[in-house]
Homo-oligomer: A and B are copies of this chain.
Amino acid sequence: MNESSGRARRPTIADVARRAGVSTVTVTRVFDRSARVSPERERRVREAVEELGYFGNGAASSLVSGRFSTVGVIASDTLSFGYAKSLAGIEDAAREARMAVLISVAEGVEPDLVRSTVALVLGQSPAGVIVLDYDEIGSAVLAALPAYVPVVAVSPATGPRVDRPYVAIDEYTGGRMAARHLLDLGHRTIHLVAPPNYGVETRTRGVRDEVQEAGAEIGSVVRAREWSSGAGREAMDELLAGSTSPVTAVFCGNDEIALGVYQSLRAHGLRIPEDVSVVGFDDNPVADFSYPRLTTVDQDFMLVGRHAFGLLERCIAAFEEEEAEVPAAAAIVPELRVRDSTAPPRPGSTPPRSG
């Protein structure tokens, strides 16, 4: 059926118009319903579109209309639970709005790397960009994005360091909840296997504040070198090696780290939760299927992603109409999920306070 015998060329609006016997304007009208088209012509256009497998050319369309149908997402990681789930939320909301998601990983904080990521994404002319400001890399990217692009950050409650609209995750409250739970069980010293990124210290700060206000103590603090179980195990090994008094409660940077902590505790002959209580963070699906089932703080990352997209849409509209600043969306509040990894300390395991 094709005129040429070679491989089919990507059809253009002119191909469709020719086949339907109408002008290209008419084809546009059938697509965007911007004006009435006679039923007969409309039928012919749809038929031609179908036969040719025409899907339009977003590049050409954006170029002239000034409307871009792509959202850029920049993150330092796409595999760790929080990142992956936030991305899924963004994609979900974007798809509903008929926008495609352009994703690019930022490899580091060095100016060259940051610039190259930004160039890769902005070079595609997205309608706006969402940055997962979960770590230093995210913050660096945020700072490098030019003011003329609508940008939304997803940040811990304190917000990003630059003046951009953001979706807040109230990790601080989550940290407090986790600490309160351990305190209520009777633990008096909470040890920390902290997250790898200083950027999300917010959750750890919540733990510290709650513990200190209760007059209890923060024990040893060891930072995991990354968001992984392996790093969690190493950190816990180190923590146990350096600890003089028995450890009865550990707060972990996230659930993946907690699983590594589990392994370290077992290797040291310690039982969970009889000897040591463990709390994670995020409510990764594995938390409910670990052994013992892990007590953790649920953060609804899917909702975070959806909110971020919603906020970005409003920013894009505001940019177009040159409106004033868009308000930040409401913060996502986490929830405590009590499972089997936490219990009261065994009598005598915590030495009585001297004096």
Which positions in A face B, CB cutoff 8 Å?
A: 6-11, 53, 55-60, 62-63, 68-70, 72, 78-79, 84-85, 87-88, 91-92, 95, 98-105, 107, 118-125, 146-149, 228-230, 233, 256, 259-260, 262-263, 266, 285-286, 288-291, 319, 322
Flag if B105 contacts A69 (CB, 8 Å).
Answer: no
Query: Can you report 9 A-B residue pairs in the complex whose CB atoms are below 8 A from each other?
Result: A7-B322, A10-B149, A53-B147, A53-B148, A55-B118, A58-B124, A60-B63, A103-B103, A263-B289
Flag if B322 contacts A6 (CB, 8 Å).
Answer: yes
Interface residue from B87, B103, B118, B285 paired with A256 (Cβ < 8 Å): B285
CA distance A91 to B120 in the complex (A): 12
Flag if B7 contacts A58 (CB, 8 Å).
Answer: no
With A101-B102, A230-B289 already in contact, 10 other A-B pairs whose C-beta atoms are closer than 8 Å: A8-B148, A59-B60, A59-B124, A78-B88, A79-B84, A79-B85, A79-B88, A92-B105, A229-B286, A230-B288
Query: Copy number of this protein in the oligomer?
Result: 2
Flag if B8 contacts A55 (CB, 8 Å).
Answer: no
| A-B residue pairs, 10 tightest by C-beta | A53-B146, A59-B59, A55-B122, A229-B289, A259-B289, A8-B148, A58-B124, A291-B291, A58-B123, A10-B148
Interface residue from B9, B98, B100, B105 paired with A91 (Cβ < 8 Å): B105
Flag if A123 contacts B289 (CB, 8 Å).
Answer: no
A213 → chain B, closest Cβ, in Å?
A: 34
CA distance A100 to B104 in the complex (A): 6
A121 → chain B, closest Cβ, in Å?
A: 6
Residues of B with C-beta under 8 A to A105 = 91-92, 95
CA distance A55 to B120 in the complex (A): 8
CA distance A10 to B319 in the complex (A): 11
Flag if B6 contacts A102 (CB, 8 Å).
Answer: no
CA distance A300 to B60 in the complex (A): 39
Flag if B289 contacts A70 (CB, 8 Å).
Answer: no
Residues of B with C-beta under 8 A to A99 = 120
Q: Which residue of B lies closest to A91 (CB)?
A: B105
CA distance A6 to B324 in the complex (A): 11
A58 → chain B, closest Cβ, in Å?
A: 5
Residues of B with C-beta under 8 A to A95 = 104-105, 107, 120
CA distance A24 to B177 in the complex (A): 58
CA distance A288 to B232 in the complex (A): 13
Flag if B55 contacts A59 (CB, 8 Å).
Answer: no
Flag if A285 contacts B11 (CB, 8 Å).
Answer: no
A148 → chain B, closest Cβ, in Å?
A: 4
Flag if B63 contacts A59 (CB, 8 Å).
Answer: yes
Flag if B98 contacts A101 (CB, 8 Å).
Answer: no
CA distance A143 to B230 in the complex (A): 41
Interface residue from B11, B85, B118 paired with A148 (Cβ < 8 Å): B11
Residues of B with C-beta under 8 A to A260 = 289
Q: Which of A11, A59, A262, A291: most chain B CB closer than 10 A?
A: A59
Knowing A103-B103, A285-B229, say if A55 contacts B123 (CB, 8 Å).
Answer: yes
Residues of B with C-beta under 8 A to A256 = 285
Q: Which residue of B lies closest to A255 (CB)?
A: B286
